Copies of this chain bind each other. A is one copy, B any other.
């Protein structure tokens, strides 16, 4: 399943889930649609789909779980962009949600997408086995909470007034972006009823992929094109934050990202051609221009 098809399928899911009601909640749904539909690399849903395919999971189930992780990701982007957080005006080539709809509606749209993510995973239409639903929910909750994305974003706020060393920046990014990337791969495997021990090599893949992704992001923040990125760049330096790039230098950061991608792929050695999409995702992670 290639990336364009996943992106279109996620858009269709959101379009169905977020039909605008004819009542005073209209603006909330419009803000959710603005943030969720049309845009983004859809890397996280693609990871769910590509992993679930290893275990022959029905695509109509997997796409719902994939939409759930994207809903969680979009919620985190809306809140991270708020004036009290990173204060960003542009996201995915569009005005951020608070710029388009005001702060209060943006906070609520994020909150509503957060709840929607869990509702999707717990819905019996996503998987008939309640154990699968409960395990996916637990996995996503861990990735979203204080020991995951919320904790990573807190560290990111602290980073503006601290000088973090490489292990601390690594920890920050493992929480802020790595935890959800790992959850995507785990959820793909949970859909395939793979036990926690059976997911060890996939977790290794996701761990290395997450770090490579973030190093590539740090490089793009310095070297990238704002128009292609669809968001403001050069932000870390302005905020005085240490990054993989500031701590390692460009050359070593590039080498490290390539090493991580190779290592990520080596975790897939137990799989054959069915894991080629996961291998391609790893390569894309550092080759992308946005």
Contacts and interface: CB of A to CB of B under 8 A. Distances in A.
Do most interface residues of chain A lie in helix, strand or loop, or is the interface mixed?
A: helix
B146 A32 contact: yes
A257 to B, nearest CB: 24
A145 B58 CA distance: 27
Contacts of A140: 118
A119 interface: yes
B116 A118 contact: no
A141 B29 CA distance: 16
Nearest to A28: B154
Interface string A134-169: 110110111011101011011101110010100010
A115 interface: yes
A122 interface: yes
Contact of A154 (B25, B76, B135): B25
Contacts of A121: 137
B107 A84 contact: yes
A123 interface: yes
A79 B109 CA distance: 12
A194 interface: no
A103 B118 contact: no
